[in-house]
Amino acid sequence: MQDIQPKTNENIQKIIQLIEHKEINAYEGYIYISLLVSKNSPDPRTKVGACIVDDNFKMLSHGFNDVPLGYKSYQNWNNRNYETDWINSKIPYVLHAERQAIINAFKKQIVLDKKQIFVTLFPCHECALEIIESGINRLYYYNDENEYFGESQKAAKKMFNPCGVVFEKIEIKDKYLVKKIEEEIKNG
């Protein structure tokens, strides 16, 4: 499993306690957690987080966009020129947050049938395929606006319904807390 910063882990535990004590809505709480997890991404422009949760809202796994283990020497995060310089862009080297969360769950031998995933950014079509095939049947997302994955996200949305994956955008009511988390993410 990818390492997350100790402060992030501490904050995740605080949010889980608030969820368990019903002091905050569980759906909003896991979107908050996904935002916190995304902070660990080394990508300076697109920080994405995901967490997989069971029906009792127990967190099973998490992930953030990063390069594969063992390939930490990658430093080309700002090259987004994938149309003319794909091999040197970040696109072929990034492991998406959803995929990482699924891999982390499988490494722990967790069966994902009928589980739910919370993500900060609506998945691309490739992550949608993995979500579908893993058995996850509910997806909650915070944002679906991404200039690079618009068509890919449309394909994902087109696949989810016929494959039995329900998706819903989660509006967070406590905008002050979201702003605080987003500022923390931006400032690293």
For residue 44, the 8-state DSSP code is: S
Q: What is the pLDDT of residues 82-140, one digit of tens each?
A: 778 888 888 888 899 999 999 999 999 999 999 999 999 999 999 999 999 999 999 99
pLDDT of residue 2: 61
- Section 67-86 average pLDDT: 75
Catalytic residue among 98, 130, 168, 184: 98
pLDDT of residue 26: 92
CB atoms within 10 A of CB 6: 8
**CB neighbour list of residue 31: distance below 8 Å, 6 or more residues apart:** 118, 120, 140, 142, 170, 172
C-alpha of 159 from chain center: 19
Residue 45 confidence class, pLDDT cut points 50, 70, 90: confident
Task: Specify the length of the chain in residues.
Answer: 188
Annotated active-site residue 98? The verdict is yes
**Global pTM exceeds 0.85:** yes
Q: How far is it, in rounded angstroms, from Cα 104 to Cα 83?
A: 31
48 and 149 in contact (C-beta within 8 Å)?
Answer: no
- Starting at the edge strand found earlier in the chain, the sheet holding 138-143 runs 59-64, 49-53, 116-121, 138-143, 166-169
pLDDT of residue 38: 93
pLDDT of residue 177: 67
Q: How far is it, in rounded angstroms, from Cα 70 to Cα 67?
A: 8
